[in-house]
Amino acid sequence: MSNLKNKSTFLLDMDGTIFLGNELIEGAVDFLRAIKKSGRRYIFLTNNSSKSKSIYVEKLRNLGIDADKEEIFTSGEATTRYLKRQHKGAKVYLLGTPALEEEFISEGFEVIKERGQDIDFVVLGFDTTLTYEKLWGACEYISKGVEYIATHPDFNCPLPQGAFMPDAGAMAALIEASTGKKPKVIGKPNKEVVESISDKYGLDKSTMVMVGDRLYTDVQTGINAGITSVVVFSGETKEFDYKSSSIRADYAFASVKEMISQI
Ligand SMILES: [Mg+2]
């Protein structure tokens, strides 16, 4: 087991780890300050590929956390970085929001909207602007054998008070029913998201630690990527459930507040 005091980059899940809905988790600001004060860094990691980074910067700032865009990493960015490593400037048929489309264009991809074109990838994001026409086109390309990528696997995106929105995983289930094909998935819990961060910031994986409240996404990301993992019991996972889970983190804390003295 590696000592948390030796880690220089904290990859942080947000909901359930730093805040819960619209409320800060107690001690989160002190935890973040402690990281910075010791000359280390944190990167907020979200699987949500529907929003631009400025939305998260604003949300964190409203909660009293001073964050900038360089400290936010989305599954959308993980995907553009992954695809760039495969095929720079590729032609992409995208199921995504205007914010995700902008991200693809600014990273040098050609976003193709018509059917029947010669394209390199179909990319499925959390498309809150999804239409039947887009789905139909994607199914056509995928069934013809075009490489198919999803930004993340979540079936639902949680909202405050137990509400939710159907997410990319649910859209992928529809596409699978039509084409029989599953996407290659980039976001948490897959190792590609950590590899994209390592690539972007020039960081060695041995310096990173993944902190989050979900075992099957956050902790599993650490396991899949071969980095240290921490589960906090301030969100979805309760200490009681963790006792019987087969997914084991390197460290477990009640919340990030209890981590402060250990980092
Ligand atoms: Mg969470």
CA 33–ligand 1 middle distance (angstroms): 20
CA 232–ligand 1 middle distance (angstroms): 9
CA 47–ligand 1 middle distance (angstroms): 10
CA 187–ligand 1 middle distance (angstroms): 13
Rounded average pLDDT over 96-102? 97
In angstroms, the CA 142 to CA 122 distance is 7
pLDDT of 253: 98
Per-residue pLDDT tens digits for 175-205: 999 999 999 999 999 999 999 999 999 999 9
108: left (phi over 0), alpha (psi -120 to 50) or beta: left
CA 61–ligand 1 middle distance (angstroms): 18
The torsion angles phi and psi of 205, rounded to 5 degrees, stand at -60, -25
In the chain, list all ranges with CATH 3.40.50.1000. 4-47+194-262, 78-185
pLDDT of 192: 96
Per-residue pLDDT tens digits for 118-168: 999 999 999 999 999 999 999 999 999 999 999 999 999 988 888 899 999
Give the model's confidence band at 66: pLDDT under 50 very low, under 70 low, under 90 confident, else very high. Answer: confident
CA 133–ligand 1 middle distance (angstroms): 32
Q: 159 or 24: whose pLDDT is higher? A: 24
CA 112–ligand 1 middle distance (angstroms): 33
pLDDT of 242: 97
CA 217–ligand 1 middle distance (angstroms): 8
CA 39–ligand 1 middle distance (angstroms): 25
pLDDT of 158: 85
Q: Which CATH class is domain 78-185?
A: alpha beta
Q: What average pLDDT does the structure give for the chain?
A: 96
In angstroms, the CA 242 to CA 248 distance is 8
CA 123–ligand 1 middle distance (angstroms): 24
Gyration radius from the chain CA atoms: 18
Is 49's pLDDT higher than 80? yes
CA 99–ligand 1 middle distance (angstroms): 22
Q: What's the CATH fold of domain 4-47+194-262?
A: Rossmann fold (3.40.50)
In angstroms, the CA 259 to CA 26 distance is 12
pLDDT of 38: 96
CA 213–ligand 1 middle distance (angstroms): 5
Is 1's pLDDT higher than 90? no
CA 19–ligand 1 middle distance (angstroms): 9
Per-residue pLDDT tens digits for 253-262: 999 999 999 9
Percent of the chain with pLDDT over 90: 95
CA 96–ligand 1 middle distance (angstroms): 22
Give the model's confidence band at 2: pLDDT under 50 very low, under 70 low, under 90 confident, else very high. Answer: low
Rounded average pLDDT over 69-92? 96
CA 8–ligand 1 middle distance (angstroms): 21
**Stated pTM of the model:** 0.94
